[in-house]
Structure 1
């Protein structure tokens, strides 16, 4: 169907809806009126879908049972919108919850088309196809019938606890969605005896209490936002940092929430005889504590199948360490209890740990896990202060994982805190090379120097020395000079805060171009300022709608000194120097006889940039990655 025909039909649908004035299933909203209101705010031609109503209601009873009611009314006009709104997969815990679909219908041709019974199907999540211990977690497929574009879909489903199994409930609701939303509503209610903490942020303001609570619900907080534009792009890891949202919790403090998590963690992270025997074999010839820690982490990574699924479903479904080991698979918390049990048996102190999804402080005065990553384990012992990430099976014995992130040890810390801020002294990385051309071998040879501190410090990636350190230095140098091979290195400083080393290396010559010119390209060091930019910093975007949070301020210096005796210099980069509100960039170029020296320095001043500052930050980063600023041509 042509796009023009779709818009004509949409206009007819709007007119029909206004004439027929269909009501929502609950009878309190006029869909025709909502269509008319939406048409005054957005152009239907420019949108695949418009949410007329997106509503979630949480009801928490005196006996600690939760009911979630989800109500959506959406206008759609494309195949993409069908995929997003007409075919839903809704997870729930079938062992302890019921899911019912109250309404599932499609409005077109001036009538409602009700979905057939076969439109609601229970299935096992794909992630659990080989994980029988988790098959209590089900996904309900909710499929709208009678779709012809454009049309309106209405769906109401309810997830209700069968029994009391929670120590409390908490969460977060963000009002801006991927598509425009005429009405974006959240209602949180609880019995009078429940300590309920509900707060709105970034413009989310509670409405007057004119929505009645369900039976037995004496505390009612309603938030009803209108005319919400689509969430700005590119999306970041922590949209709650800048979008209107509400946080809610029945835990009256971080301590209370932490104690609930700690209790499960300690109870489940106990060793059994089989696990003790396996650990003894694993560590039989380990000589140091750090070697033991790495062996355990590697064992969990290689012998346990990590299952990636929303951790909220497993906060109160944690399995014992012995059972996790026996089955050979686990979600994040299960992998944590297994790792913690083995580490503790090996002589380490261990704690559950939560790291913030984004950078900076996340404590908004409500005890909720909403802005955290999946849980991990903090491991402490002689020479070891490490973070184990079950999602990657990696043990980080350094600062980089926690740099400018909120850290919380549930049950041990009073609240999440920034242990290592990105706005302090800043991070710094320096790579410097002094090379000479070897015409007989067709390569460059010489010496170099590497230094990295703060968030760039690779202590955990180089500890142990020997081949491990050399391989990492190879990676760093190869980022700057393709194919670089480090033959020797001599550490000058080596701790969690700074690593520095002299080194010897060789670099193969690049292929000559069609004009017989020999390019020498100076790239970026591995794990340097450019390499660690978050995924939401795409330089191809001239404009963006979201702020830019970074791990921290930082400086990167790349210096190359070339003795080009026997070669002719055809082209050198032009010197560049500029400062703007985001930082500074400088490229110095000098030639003294056969010696060419190039120094490229970029400095980023802050850990967070506003939308308006993106232009300056982008200009800074583009100057750093520009090919014209990093290529020498020789013959």
Structure 2
């Protein structure tokens, strides 16, 4: 590789210099050879160098290490023995000799060397455990036990030593004592799934916390006989979620779901269960997965798979799903799934913070819904008030306090087109150990503040980047475009980095990162350029707004930058968006602004329709027959511009993609020519033009002729107002203006019989205008449609539906024509 080539070249240049430098070069060259599986070359090189300089300890030690790598154990022993004779305080050698004799099953010598080590160095847990193992091997069980117990007096919460003592007791017949010790270890470090399972094997009565909550699925099936409502495909008999929070801040989640399916479509929709988790910090443990047939038959036949979820737009990326599939599920069957998700690690990466968010409702009716949180009495839990279960039952259970929310016959949420995000129409539970935004913001800033410290190399790049900029606007544009164009969006959010950005210098040097990393880099660069910027942790609008209390990290899924002096929001992941083209998902998002100045919870403002414009100027020339020629000039500004830059980024694919776009409105159209203005300048609007032949554009009905009066195929009724009645508001994600001017050139072969009717509509939620003008043998039809509200409330739906129907009819009008001859 390039790095190895440079290393070898540097070592070659060092050779022949001073003896000390040359010796170091020899050691490094030997290391390089060893790494490249060239150990046979490395060892002779070191032997020769050591023979020339026998007094140099580093060469002798390197030669001994290489001898061991080659399996020359006795030669390695002799070399290390000579090294030890020269320095009897070398702790590394004492540990080596102990291991050497351990491999040869000489417990007495292994113990002797380990005890020499322990006399010279502070006792480590590994050394104490090794000493105890050697004593055990010599049959000195009481001494082994005493060594471990003495170490535990000094380090009573060292789970490694506790478990080694438990192993000793178990092997030598005192299983009750071993179980007591293993339980003690679990109390300190609950997230040790292997030990949990082993304890359950040894002591079935010591089952997990979930056993106190799990319900009998067979009894549920009997208690709730099938009573499907008309059109119902499935229902949940039980949806149970329990979180257990331990004293060290780690937590476990237990889930039990029992569903009954009624139809083939219900089977198709419900047969696969995806259990989402974060590998490395969580472990999934499947407890039950079975089908319960109406005749009482129980089938434990399922297929288990893993799915990578680390794709998409997210603040955290270390996500996978364990997928459980029931291929034998049939209409009328019930299915049960039980699983646990356990935090793994010695402690909570986020200190003692705990937060969780879970829907109370979904798209299926639920007979029994239960959510519970058990946490130590020393902790306070804050929570919202779900509409269906406003208050939990609170009970003290030993050292814990349990919060228990229960409901029966929870209605389903009706799915509708263009509805708001589910969390805005469904009931949900949100819990957190943070009392207010100030507490959470201060905690989060202390977690991330050191990531914003820039090295001189980064500062130098920033100074060069903004050199000569006339004002802050130009500095902001340069920094923003540098970040979005020079750093790739790659999610590396594992463990603590699910919510903590990597150090800004690492992001700068490797030129990639996730949303937090890019936001951090942009903030540091802007501040170095003299522009204040804060970190904004965001809940994007496409997943829905929540009540602002309680505060927790469970709310958020994105991170961007905020410039308070200019009220400007910048998304470092929006690689095809300009400075003022914030993605629509960020707009209306909820945000926690954090900096050294404090914390603030706010909402990202929406953008005005005038800032988001799709404009086209089309000329349709009618020919002698029924075909027409379309020439169109398109300009896109604002939020939608990024979609066009991304879609047409590759010049090799532009023709094919543009032709597909035209054919969506004009089937059979052929693209004759096209041209795009440069798409890599994010400060410019997207502009392109094209010419196309439109076959059979003029429709003939006997002796009558007609052609579409617009080049747009718009059906607002189908898109937003297909239902006569709704249960939810209408969601319009983008406020924008659509402008279209179509100039029809009738030529000498056609005359106008009947033009389309003009129309003007003005509502609080939208405006529409269609104007029609005849200029000689030309007919100009212009339309302007402006959406002014993101959400249409239910009380305005009838008016909105009429508006959509009227606008759709206007767009679909025809021009009545006759042949001039």
TM-score (norm 2): 0.55
The CA deviation at 1:374 is 1.9
What is the alpha-carbon distance in structure 2 between the residues aligned to residue 370 and residue 293 of structure 1? 28
Of residues 419, 423, 434, the one that matches 1:240 is 423
Whichever structure has more strand as a proportion of its residues is: 1
Match of 1:409? 593
Match of 2:483? 296
2:553 matches 1:365: no
Of residues 210, 214, 218, the one that matches 2:401 is 218
- The residue correspondences of 1:69-148 to structure 2 (distance < 5 A) are 69-76=254-261, 85-108=270-293, 109-114=295-300, 125=308, 127=310, 139-142=321-324, 147=329
What is the alpha-carbon distance in structure 2 between the residues aligned to residue 331 and residue 292 of structure 1? 17
Partner deviation per Cα, 1:133-181 (whole Å, 9 max, x = no partner):
x997664444569756542222222223342222422232222223232
Whichever structure has more helix as a proportion of its residues is: 2
Preserved CA contact (<8 Å) 1:99 1:160: yes
* SS in structure 2 of the partner of residue 568 of structure 1: strand
Distance 1:333 1:451, change over 3 A: closer
What is the alpha-carbon distance in structure 2 between the residues aligned to residue 79 and residue 308 of structure 1? 40
* SS in structure 2 of the partner of residue 261 of structure 1: helix
The CA deviation at 1:57 is 1.6
- RCO greater where, 1 or 2, for CA within 8 Å and sep 6 or more? 1
Preserved CA contact (<8 Å) 1:96 1:161: yes
Match of 2:139? none
Match of 1:12? none
Preserved CA contact (<8 Å) 2:374 2:402: yes
* SS in structure 2 of the partner of residue 200 of structure 1: coil
Distance 1:257 1:480, change over 3 A: farther
Of residues 146, 167, 177, the one that matches 2:362 is 177
Match of 2:14? none
Match of 1:156? 338
What is the alpha-carbon distance in structure 2 between the residues aligned to residue 524 and residue 408 of structure 1? 41
Match of 2:752? 569
2:502 matches 1:319: yes
Of residues 432, 453, 466, the one that matches 1:249 is 432
The CA deviation at 1:580 is 7.2
The CA deviation at 1:53 is 0.7
Match of 1:166? 350
Unaligned runs of 5+ in 1: 1-23, 129-133, 463-470, 489-495
2:249 matches 1:64: yes
Preserved CA contact (<8 Å) 1:236 1:536: no
* SS in structure 2 of the partner of residue 409 of structure 1: strand
Unaligned runs of 5+ in 2: 1-210, 646-653, 678-682
Distance 1:459 1:386, change over 3 A: farther
Preserved CA contact (<8 Å) 1:308 1:332: no
Partner deviation per Cα, 1:465-499 (whole Å, 9 max, x = no partner):
xxxxxx9xxx9xx99999998999xxxxxxx9xx9
Partner deviation per Cα, 1:310-362 (whole Å, 9 max, x = no partner):
x9984346433454566665443344444545555565543322444328974
- The residue correspondences of 1:418-457 to structure 2 (distance < 5 A) are 418=603, 420=605
Preserved CA contact (<8 Å) 2:272 2:325: yes
Match of 2:189? none
Preserved CA contact (<8 Å) 1:306 1:390: no
Match of 1:52? 237
Match of 1:491? none
Preserved CA contact (<8 Å) 2:317 2:491: no
Distance 1:31 1:392, change over 3 A: farther
* SS in structure 1 of the partner of residue 605 of structure 2: coil
Partner deviation per Cα, 1:75-109 (whole Å, 9 max, x = no partner):
23567656655543423345444433333333234
* SS in structure 2 of the partner of residue 416 of structure 1: strand
Partner deviation per Cα, 1:384-404 (whole Å, 9 max, x = no partner):
945124265645335674654
Preserved CA contact (<8 Å) 1:172 1:246: yes
The CA deviation at 1:549 is 3.0
The CA deviation at 1:47 is 3.8
Distance 1:286 1:124, change over 3 A: farther
Distance 1:165 1:385, change over 3 A: same
Match of 1:468? none
* SS in structure 2 of the partner of residue 252 of structure 1: coil
Distance 1:342 1:510, change over 3 A: same
- The residue correspondences of 1:305-384 to structure 2 (distance < 5 A) are 305-307=489-491, 314-316=497-499, 318-324=501-507, 330-341=513-524, 344=527, 348-358=531-541, 362-370=546-554, 372-378=556-562
The CA deviation at 1:72 is 0.9
Distance 1:599 1:461, change over 3 A: closer
Distance 1:57 1:234, change over 3 A: farther
Preserved CA contact (<8 Å) 1:200 1:244: no
Of residues 589, 592, 596, the one that matches 2:772 is 589
**Greater Rg by CA:** 2
* SS in structure 2 of the partner of residue 39 of structure 1: coil
Partner deviation per Cα, 1:387-425 (whole Å, 9 max, x = no partner):
124265645335674654444323467443345357x99
Match of 1:188? 373
Distance 1:124 1:524, change over 3 A: closer
Preserved CA contact (<8 Å) 1:510 1:518: no
* SS in structure 1 of the partner of residue 423 of structure 2: helix
What is the alpha-carbon distance in structure 1 between the residues aligned to residue 307 and residue 741 of structure 2? 56
Match of 1:261? 444
What is the alpha-carbon distance in structure 2 between the residues aligned to residue 513 and residue 124 of structure 1? 48
The CA deviation at 1:196 is 1.8
Preserved CA contact (<8 Å) 2:486 2:511: no
Distance 1:391 1:107, change over 3 A: farther
* SS in structure 1 of the partner of residue 442 of structure 2: helix
The CA deviation at 1:609 is 1.5
* SS in structure 2 of the partner of residue 396 of structure 1: coil
Of residues 706, 710, 715, the one that matches 1:522 is 710
What is the alpha-carbon distance in structure 1 between the residues aligned to residue 688 and residue 578 of structure 2? 29
* SS in structure 1 of the partner of residue 533 of structure 2: strand
What is the alpha-carbon distance in structure 1 between the residues aligned to residue 478 and residue 373 of structure 2? 49
Preserved CA contact (<8 Å) 1:314 1:333: no
Distance 1:550 1:341, change over 3 A: same
TM-score (norm 1): 0.68
